Every structure is written in C-alpha cells, then in structure tokens.
A and B are shown apart, each in its own frame.
Chain A
Amino acid sequence: MTAVTNPSTGTQQEPQPATEGRRFAPGSPLRAAIGFVLAGAVLFAVAPLVLPDFRLNLLAKYLCLAIVAVGIGLAWGRGGLLTLGQGVFFGLGGYAMAMHLKLADAGPGNLPDFMQLYGQVDALPWWWAPFANPIFAIAATVLLPMVVAFVLGSLVFRRRVRGAYFAILSQALAAAMAIFLVGQQGTTGGTNGLTDIQTFFGYSLRDPVNQRMVYFIIAGCLLLLLVLARQLMRSRYGELLVAVRDAEERVRFLGYDPANVKLVAYVAAAGMAGLAGALFVPAVGIISPALIGVVPSIELVIGVAVGGRATLIGPALGAVAVAWAKTALSERLPAAWTYFEGLLFVLVVAFLPGGLASLFGLIRRRPGVGTTAETSEVTP
C-alpha cells in the first residue's frame, strides 16, 4: 500500500483499511483460498447433486469453454493480445484426443470407421499412427497447440505485428484450419469431423457414471488452471504482462523484450485451449471444423468480454454464462439468440469494457485494469 496525496489539501494520507478489510481485501490470499474452496464446493458437490445427468453433461461442455476462456483472459485481458483463433488450439487438442479415441475404438490394426466409409484411404496415414499411443496422444493435446503457438507467436511478436494485425492474423489462422480440415475428408472426417466416440481410455462413454467422472476431471482441470493462472497473474511476470499491454515501448526501453512476455501468455493460452479441446471430446463425443472455425473462436471471446476480460474468474464465469444462455435461448428461439448474442457483444464491449465483473466492483482495487485495455495502441 502506497501513500496517496490528497489533491485538495496536499497532505499525505495513509489509506487506512480496517485490519479485517485488508485480510479479506480483493486479491488477498485468504480471500482467494475461500473463493477456490467455494468454487470447488459448487463444482464438485452442489452441481452433481442438483443437476440431472443431461444438464451435468452440458455443464461439463461449458466448463471446457471456461478453460479456454481462462487462457483468453490471460492473453487478451492481461496481455492485450486479442486472439480470435483460439479455436485452432482447441481443435488441435480435440483432434489429437479424438484421433486416439477413434483408433482405440477401432482396435489395433483396424482403420477408424469413417476412413472405411469414405474409402479414400487404404492404410492409416503416417501422421495418425503415433496417436495410437495414449501417452503420446495426451501429451500432444497440450504440447501440439503450445508448439504451434510458440512458432507462430515467435515469428509474429518478434516482428512487432500487434494489435488489430495480430487479431486478424489469428482469425485467418482459424479460417485456414477449418477449411483445411473440411478439405481433407478422407483423413480428418471433413465437415462431419470425428464423431461417434464410444470409449474414453477403455471406459464406455454411454455409462452415466463414466460421464460423471469426465465431468469431475474437467472441473478439476478448470480449478487447477485457475490456481495456475492466479499465480501467473500475481507474479512479477503478471505485472510485466500488464505493463506490456499498457505501454509496450516503455517496457522495451526498460530492457525487457515484450515479444517474450507476450509469447509466454500466448503459449499458455494455447496450452489451455488444447487441454480444453481434449476434454471436450469425451464430454460431447465429437470434434468437428464447425466447433473450431472463425465463429466459435470469436464466440469464446464474447464470454470473456462479458465476464470481465482482465479478471481471473470473470472469463470463466462469462464463458459458462454465455454458453448456458445460448443453450437456453436457442432451444426455444434460435433467431432471438443471434440478436441477443450480437447485442450482448455490442453493449458489453462498447459500454462496459470491464465486463460484468466491473459492475460488481470485483476489480475495484485496480480501477485501471480492463477499462484502459487498448488505450496504448492508438498511437498513430
């Protein structure tokens, strides 16, 4: 806590929060611990008890999107990197997992069902073969997106492609990836994607007990990643990331390389999206280009914007809320949902850039965060 100068009297005033208040102040470890315990209780005890199997499965799907959102919150909210292509990393993770599960379903030596169906390939393509190994597949779900993000990020950030340019490039990546997957029908399942996944490492996904287990795994991963993201945001690196977002040139003049700072956030976000994609597959039983293209990628961003891009929990809550609203509204009025989604985007981003979190004053302690996210980029 630093002393602040009162502009009217010119005297120095020590901020004097009550001792209790300081201990429970937003951002304090105790408060965070209580928050995590509460979130854990809701996810692990309340939700499974209250929700029927079908709704719990939907919640599992939403939590996957929430994991992606935590990454976007880190990269965009804290780092100012508006990535409109997280679907790519989500898809890489999802396809890596689905490829393994399809191979496992088919049994050793057999082709996955869709390859036989389309009849365009006689033998397993070489790049499918390693995914038969479960360890390789699980590692690939996270590492593959991180490697792609690392290569792309180090090329792009080092050449100081930033702001809108980066956003458009990441969006083009999502478009290219979706088109590519659709075009390679024989080996990727084309528009249908990889569907009809029966088992998850030997456990039947038809069994509600196993579905519940998948839900618990997803919820556990989300909590773990929230803890990780919190530590990252509150570390020296987290401060540096916000500094790069708000005044990149100043950080450069201080002797840091902003490209590396951005790269860490981008790669971390990609890894989270990859993990989310991998977990999405057993929860929903399908991965397809329609889930990873331009539109789903940008829909991930809306949840983050609604929840509060620069906060820790906001993106996750926002993603779950938006996905839930989408299901609830489009079940009844599909047309109304699209208008609502568009309007939500317009109203939140234009008039409430801090997201719903700023309404509740959750980020009151750091008034600058979230509201001035892009002011440093308007220099001509």
Chain B
Amino acid sequence: MTLVLSQLFIGSSIGAVLLLIALGLSLTFGQMNVINMAHGELIMAGAYTVYVLQKTITGAGASLLVALPVAFLVSGGMGVVLEFLLIRRLYARPLDTLLVTWGVSLMLQQLARDIFGAPNVQTRAPDLLTGNVKIFSSASGSDLVVANSRLFILALALLAVAALTLVLRLTALGRRIRAVVQNRDLAAVSGIPTSRVDRLTFFIGSGLAGIAGVPLTLVGPIGPTMGTNIIVDAFLVVVVGGIGHLKGTVIVAFALGMLQSIVEYSTTLSVAKVLVFLAIVAFLQWRPQGLFTLRTRSLA
C-alpha cells in the first residue's frame, strides 16, 4: 500500500514538473501555434534568476518568493524581444519558427556559459523546503515520506494552472486571447489589436517559463544545457494533450508522470523513457490531434 502511494506521489511530482515546464508552451504553442524551441532557455533564465538573486540580494530564505515575480518578468521580457525581433515575422511558417528559435536557444546557451560558466551552479534551498513530511505512517515501519520541495512544486504547478485559467476565463485580456485563437480575422475586424494580443500572449507564456525555472532549482542542476533536456518532454506533453486546451496539458502531464514513475520503478530510467515514447506514438494512433481537440471544419 505504501509502495503504491509513494509511486503515485513520485508520479505526481514528476507530473508537476512536466506541467510547469509545459504550461507556458501550452500557451505559446497551443494557443498561438508558435514552436518556441528557446522555451527551455527561458526556463533556464528563470533558474539563473534564483541564483543571481541569492548571490546579490536575498539569502536562501525568501529567495524563491522574490524570484517568482522577477523570473516572470525576466523570461517574459526575453520572450517579448524574441517575438518582436523574429517570431512575428514567421507566424505563417511554423516549421521555420522551430528552426529559428532553436538557433536562438543555441545562442542563449552560449550566453549563459559565458556569463555563469560552463559548470552547473548551486543554489541553496530555503530551510522551510529542505525537510520532509510524513504523510502516511504504517505499522511495518515503511512510512510514506514526502520532500517539502516536491510538495512546493506540486502546489506551485496547480496554482499556476489556476491563475492562468482565471486569466483566460475572466479577464478582458483572456477573452481577447481566446478570440484571436479561435478566429483571428473576426477578432481583427471586431477591433481587437491582434498583434498586440499576440505579444502579450507570448509575454505570459514566456513568463510562465521563467516561473517554471524557479522551483527547478530545488530538484535539479542549474546549467547552460538544462533547457535542452527539458524541451523535448515539454513539447510531448503539449502535443499529446492537444493544442488549445489547458486541461489536456494538465491531464497528460500527470499521466506521463505516473507512467514514467511506474515503468521506472519496474525497469530503469532509460527503458522508461523509451517506453513512454512508444506509448505516446501508440496514443497518437488513437488520437492524432491529442487528447482534446479544437473542433473546426478545416481539413487540417
């Protein structure tokens, strides 16, 4: 019983990380159809923000809380620059966007290497997040113990989803974003400044990448190549979830997390990665457009 519960928890904490890194993409790729391969580097920027803040201003204690809004602005700002310089010229050529942003990601990686050095850097976790919580105590002594940092990530992921959903559902900006996604031309003739909405959407999506980078400092190394390791997983989550739907991203992130934790428990990490990939190909046989699809009458 403890084993099942602990695997479930490991799965959901992998899922929470996947959700955080894929959330920004579900906005930029899912809603705007922009394939931003530099998304991983925007996450990296968020992680380095924590590092810089700890070095300069705050100690470990409040660093994460301070870093969250700062990282949002840093990565969001980088995203806007990227959108303004390159991506807006390429909206009609999604595959070329992929290659161009990959070039950008190469340059950002090298920039990180030049500024912070090639080796990974360390941050200190706040004391509050270093401990464990005993969630389930069993008679046989095999207690279910959960790291505080994992709980923090789970909470942050759910909070981010809730915030994004509220923005999309309830605010004027969210209405505009949804209008542009559903019918760009109609939105334009209704007086919505579509290119400004695009830029704002991209800002939010990139900012979410920055937010994702902050808790990653708790669970993994911060280095110039961290983005490359993240980006493939993040895209898979959005593709399988189906574009244009947040709930698809959420469900698939947790499902893939569970699957990986279960397979990894019975085999190894490398086998788990391959099996998860095969599962995704099989899933796309069943639902080629992802879990949820936008219903349109177009042939695509």
A338 touches B90 (CB 8 A): no
**Majority secondary structure of chain B interface residues (helix, strand, loop or mixed):** helix
Q: Shortest distance in angstroms between B290's beta carbon and chain A's nearest beta carbon?
A: 9
- A374 contacts B277, CB within 8 Å? no
Q: Looking at A169, A184, A301, which has the most chain B CB atoms within 10 Å of its CB?
A: A169
B82 to chain A, nearest CB (A): 10
State which residues 154-186 of A face B: CB under 8 Å.
155-156, 159-161, 163-165, 167-169, 171-173, 175-177, 179-184
B277 pairs with A159, CB closer than 8 A: no
Report the number of A-B residue pairs with Cβ-Cβ less than 8 Å: 146
Q: How far is the CB of B108 from chain A (nearest CB, A)?
A: 8
**Smallest CB separation, B216 vs chain A (Å):** 18
Taking CB as reference atom, which chain B residue is nearest A347?
B103
- Contact digits for B12-39, partner A, Cβ 8 Å, 1 yes 0 no: 0000000000000000010001010000
Interface size on B, residues (CB 8 A): 48
A338:B298 contact, CB within 8 angstroms: no
16 A–B contact pairs at CB < 8 A? Answer: A156-B281, A164-B94, A168-B235, A168-B236, A176-B277, A180-B270, A180-B273, A184-B270, A298-B99, A298-B102, A302-B103, A335-B110, A335-B113, A341-B106, A345-B100, A380-B300
Interface residues on A, range: 35 or more
A172–B100 CB distance below 8 A? no
Interface residues in B145-185 by Cβ distance below 8 A to A read 184
What is the CA–CA distance of A180 and B93 in the complex, to the nearest angstrom?
A: 33
Chain A residues engaging chain B, CB cutoff 8 angstroms: 80, 82, 152, 155-156, 159-161, 163-165, 167-169, 171-173, 175-177, 179-184, 249, 294-295, 298, 301-302, 305, 335, 338-339, 341-346, 349-350, 353, 373-375, 377-380
A224 to B206, CA, bound (A): 47
Q: In the complex, what's the smallest C-beta–C-beta distance from B72 to chain A, in angstroms?
A: 25
Which residues of the partner chain A approach B299 to less than 8 Å between Cβ atoms?
Answer: 249, 379
A288 to B280, CA, bound (A): 26
Known: A171-B232, A181-B270, A342-B106. 9 other contacts (CB 8 A): A161-B284, A164-B33, A183-B269, A183-B273, A346-B103, A349-B100, A353-B93, A373-B96, A380-B184
Contacts of B96 in A (CB 8 A): 349-350, 353, 373-374
B residues touching A (Cβ–Cβ < 8 Å)?
Answer: 29, 33, 35, 86, 89-96, 98-100, 102-107, 109-110, 113-114, 184, 228, 232, 235-236, 239, 268-271, 273-274, 276-277, 280-281, 284-285, 288, 296, 298-300
Contacts of B288 in A (CB 8 A): 159-161, 165
Q: How far is the CB of A255 from chain B (nearest CB, A)?
A: 16
CB < 8 Å neighbour of A350 from B90, B95, B228, B277: B90
With most chain B CB atoms within 10 A of its CB, the pick from A182, A183, A302, A343 is A183
A301 to B113 alpha-carbon distance, docked (Å): 24
B71 to chain A, nearest CB (A): 23
State how many angstroms separate the Cβ of A379 from the closest Cβ of chain B. Answer: 5
**Interface contact A375-B90, CB-CB below 8 Å:** no
A338 touching B109 by the CB < 8 A rule? yes
A346 to B101, CA, bound (A): 7
Expressed in whole angstroms, the minimum distance between the Cβ of B292 and any Cβ of chain A is 15
